[in-house]
């Protein structure tokens, strides 16, 4: 039963949508709308089962509640997944049908890109709904891409984590392992290489590895071997759940700081990192650059304002580190507590809610 699933948590709504004409099947999770309409990207993925898709969308939507709250954005948390299964999958028709389904929610959920969905895809979805952002303006797919903004936040967060852990935020001469060389991982590697970082990289897509190695001088590491590479930082930039208990136990780094959502497979993994003295920079604090950029189509933040807000990520992270240190808890717990406090303060001040909705 869906209500019994651990990750169902305190979700406000989970909507299952299907369109037989196109073969579209999708799940839209709305976790919390205290701070504003639920916002989070749409993921298109080939899930092994419906249960796997449900767990993914639930965990991602809760993460968006926390991410938007800590980032100070006037949005609640939500997420959607389109199931890329089915022999007669017609991408354009599926995306259009999905847009119609989002429109039917009347603005309770606003979508953007996520893994498997490009800015051009968002444009197709947005042909059927006004509740979308990250839409290419004047056909400019590059400007709509949240990846470089997310990467910028990860880069700044990494320096703050290094400063906290070692007393110096200087990246030159450090070794960083980057897993996943896509929209976030590649621009991150470019910034790190420019600062003189020794890069060790991995991706299941050999072409992406080759491109990153050619552009940045990185060394390629095969699959599972990345967890054995001694390094200053491990930057997960592929899919979530990558740091399970086993990885947390054997990883040979001082810091985990990357762009992927839901990096910790379990709360215990965070506890193990904490016990081993490995500093975990909570993903939803670190990777808020992209959402700050894409939602500027709704918030009307200028480019300067977006950059100013991304530049605040290190301060937010330091606050989380301080809270965790004071309570001697894993940083993930401290970050979630911070997010819940922000939401609770907002709930206690209904007049503010009005301001947030109209922002
Ligand atoms: P992407 O799809 O462009 O790149 C992901 C890369 O990871 C691909 O190159 C893929 O081949 C690789 N990959 C998948 N499984 C792997 C594995 N087991 N080992 C090594 N490589 C693997 O996705 P994008 O946009 O770069 O996002 C990466 C992560 O960051 C995702 O978890 C996403 O949810 C998260 N994120 C992305 C944001 C953005 O602005 N694009 C914003 C916030 C979070």
pLDDT in tens, 302-341: 999 999 999 999 999 999 999 999 999 999 999 999 999 9
Furthest-apart CA pair in the chain: how many Å? 59
Measured from the CB, is residue 95 less than 6 Å from ligand 1?
A: no
Q: Are strands 13-19 and 24-32 parallel, antiparallel or unpaired?
A: antiparallel
What order do you get walking across the sheet with 198-202 strand by strand? 219-220, 198-202, 175-179, 231-236, 253-256, 279-280
261 Cα to the center of ligand 1, angstroms? 9
The answer to whether the beta carbons of residues 233 and 176 sit under 8 Å apart is: yes
Mean pLDDT of the chain: 93
pTM of the model: 0.93
Measured from the CB, is residue 185 less than 6 Å from ligand 1?
A: yes
pLDDT digit string (tens) for 258-306? 999 999 999 999 999 999 999 999 999 999 999 999 999 999 999 999 9
pLDDT digit string (tens) for 53-108? 999 999 999 999 999 999 999 999 999 999 987 666 789 999 999 999 999 999 99
Residue whose CA is closest, atom 20 of ligand 1? 203
Residue whose CA is closest, atom 10 of ligand 1? 180
Mutate to test the pocket of ligand 1, among 77, 113, 187, 238 (most ligand atoms within 8 A of CB): 238
- Closest C-alpha among 146, 69, 147, 1 to residue 340: 69
1 Cα to the center of ligand 1, angstroms? 30
209 Cα to the center of ligand 1, angstroms? 13
CA torsion sign, 202 to 205 to 209 to 212?
A: negative
């Amino acid at each position: 039963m869906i209500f019994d699933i651990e990750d169902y948590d305190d979700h406000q709504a989970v909507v299952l949508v299907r369109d037989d004409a196109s073969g579209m099947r999708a799940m839209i999770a709305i976790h919390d709308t205290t701070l504003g309409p639920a916002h989070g990207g749409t993921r298109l993925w080939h899930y092994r089962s419906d249960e796997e898709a449900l767990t993914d969308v639930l965990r991602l939507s809760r993460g968006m509640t926390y991410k938007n709250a800590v980032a100070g954005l006037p949005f609640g948390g939500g997420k959607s997944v389109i199931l890329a299964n089915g022999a007669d999958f017609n991408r354009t028709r599926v995306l259009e049908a999905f847009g119609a389904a989002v429109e039917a929610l009347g603005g309770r959920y606003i979508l953007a890109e996520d893994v498997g969905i490009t800015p051009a895809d968002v444009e197709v979805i947005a042909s059927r709904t006004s509740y979308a952002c990250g839409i290419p303006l004047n056909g400019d797919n590059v400007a709509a891409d949240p990846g470089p903004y997310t990467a910028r936040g990860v880069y700044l967060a990494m320096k703050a984590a290094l400063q906290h852990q070692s007393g110096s935020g200087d990246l030159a001469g450090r070794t960083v392992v980057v897993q996943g060389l896509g929209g976030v991982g590649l621009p991150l590697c470019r910034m790190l290489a420019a600062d003189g970082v020794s890069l060790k990289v991995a991706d299941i897509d050999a072409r992406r590895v080759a491109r990153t190695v050619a552009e940045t001088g990185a060394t390629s590491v095969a699959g599972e071997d990345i967890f054995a590479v001694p390094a200053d930082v491990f930057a997960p930039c592929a899919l979530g759940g990558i740091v399970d208990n086993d990885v947390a136990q054997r990883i040979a780094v001082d810091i985990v700081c990357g762009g992927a959502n839901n990096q910790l497979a379990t709360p215990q993994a965070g506890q193990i990192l904490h016990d081993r003295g490995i500093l975990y920079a909570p993903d939803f604090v670190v990777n808020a650059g992209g959402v700050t950029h894409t939602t500027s189509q709704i918030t009307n933040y200028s480019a300067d304002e977006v950059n100013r807000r991304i530049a605040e990520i290190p301060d937010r992270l330091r606050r989380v580190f301080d809270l965790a240190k004071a309570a001697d808890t894993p940083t993930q717990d401290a970050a979630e507590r911070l997010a819940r406090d922000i939401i609770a303060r907002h709930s206690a001040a209904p007049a503010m809610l009005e301001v947030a909705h109209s922002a």
